Amino acid sequence: MRQDQPGFDDLMTPSLLLDAAKMARNIERLTAQARRLGVTLRPHLKTAKSINVARCLFGGETGPITVSTLAEAEAFHAAGYADILYAVGIAPQKLTRVQKLRAMGCDLVVILDSQAQAKAVAEAGVPALIEIDSDGHRGGLLSDDPALVEIGRILHANGVLRGVMTHAGESYTVRGKAAHAKFAEQERLAAVDAADALRNAGLCCSVVSVGSTPTAHAARDLSGVTELRAGVYMFFDLVMTGIDVCSIDDIALSVLTTVIGHQPARGWVMIDAGWMAMSRDRGTAAQDVDQGFGIVCDASGRVMEDLIVSAANQEHGIVALRPGAEGPLPDLPVGTYLRILPNHACATAAQHDRYNVLHAQNGHMETWHRFGGW
């Protein structure tokens, strides 16, 4: 930004800010990585939930995307996205809504890991990927589970078997590119083994889908994989910084806040960004460096040494020095604007209904709508 406070007086605080140049750089980084690896990138829009952000992913065009809710699927389909993976295990009750979107021309694909779901999906004529468990993190079948082929047969018999997918959620718990590369290879092997098991049983398996933000950036070889998924990479956050997937300077999202008071005896500066604005996410608490509810920057986005949001109530944040840091606390009079970098972009963005987008080139600010709900 050229100016310290471009139009901030027109915003109410707390407000969500998005640095367009940083986002563009983050998007280009993973786009190039997918190109290098020879796989399709299918960005996960659960973090962004914004048509404007989606438009930045494919150079202004549409493309294949991943979503976490049917509300997202409907919103993105209405905006022209017609190749969508709904990457949360399907509840049979939701199939009517899925069918409606498919009838409108949306190639919406669901995921599942049980015979009960496979039967419901087969009956509804909805294509599916079988979820594979590559790291014990969440749902999915092991690639050598005999149930995999049984489920595959149910889907195949009804012409709705598209392939397999996996997500290494556990990669978030380890630090560094080498560790993430191991998880990437684990994702690849689990998905490719599962695809082979299906093919060896004479079943088709055209899609082999893997990904998480850490593994997507660290993967060295994705032989046998057809597509890569990741979501938070567009914005990044302190959790990703804490495991070395990005630097603090890559974080495109921040919350603008105003100083509203002081408790000098306790070393506190009170701000109007509490957990309602930041979310209750304390994802860095288990990392090497606990960032509280976020790192404090000045209004221009420059990190203020050793200053974090140490505690939060609903609409109050407490800014203080990091434990062990030497003061003094900088002078931050009532009315001062600050920007807070979030622990977890998905959770913080979800607390807001719009992005206030900062364009470095011309210093102007734009409002992009974001949606929520299910």
Task: Output the smallest distance, CB 235 to a second copy, in A.
Answer: 14
CB of 346 to a second copy, least distance (A): 6
Rounded Cα–Cα distance for residues 99 and 153 (Å): 21
Nearest one of 16, 116, 13 to 337, comparing CA atoms:
13
Residue 114 Cβ, how far from a second copy at the closest point, in Å?
Answer: 6
DSSP 140-206: -B-TT-HHHHHHHHHHHHTT-EEEEEE--GGGGGS-SHHHHHHHHHHHHHHHHHHHHHHHHTT----
d(CA 131, CA 351): 29
d(CA 245, CA 171): 11
Q: Which is nearer to a second copy, 44 or 188 (CB)?
A: 44
Picking from 23, 28, 6, 4, the residue whose alpha carbon sits closest to that of residue 252 is 23
If the CB atoms of residues 39 and 299 are measured against a second copy, the closer one turns out to be 299
Binding site for a second copy (CB under 8 A): 9, 12-15, 46, 68-70, 88-94, 97, 112-114, 116-117, 133, 136, 138-139, 169, 258-263, 266, 270, 272, 275-277, 279-282, 313-316, 318, 333-335, 346-347, 350-353, 372-374
Using the minimum distance from each CB to a second copy, give the nearer residue, 306 or 315: 315
Q: Which is nearer to a second copy, 329 or 350 (CB)?
A: 350
19 touches 358 (CB < 8 A)? yes
What long-range pairs does 106-111 form, CB within 8 A, spacing at least 24? 106/73, 106/77, 106/81, 106/82, 107/82, 107/83, 108/73, 108/77, 108/84, 109/84, 109/85, 109/162, 109/207, 110/86, 111/85, 111/86, 111/87, 111/165
Shortest spacing between CB 259 and a second copy, in angstroms? 8
CB of 83 to a second copy, least distance (A): 20
- Of 39 and 194, the one with the shorter C-beta distance to a second copy is 194
Nearest-approach distance from CB 130 to a second copy, in angstroms: 12
Residue 161 amino acid letter: L
The two tokens of residue 27 are 């998007």
> Please, which residue, 91 or 157, has the CB nearer to a second copy?
91
119 or 182: CB nearest a second copy = 119
Least CB distance from residue 69 to a second copy, whole Å? 7
Q: Which residues pair with 356 in a beta bridge?
A: 17, 367
Residue 291 Cβ vs a second copy, minimum distance, rounded to whole Å: 15
Residue among 25 and 97 whose Cβ is closer to a second copy:
97
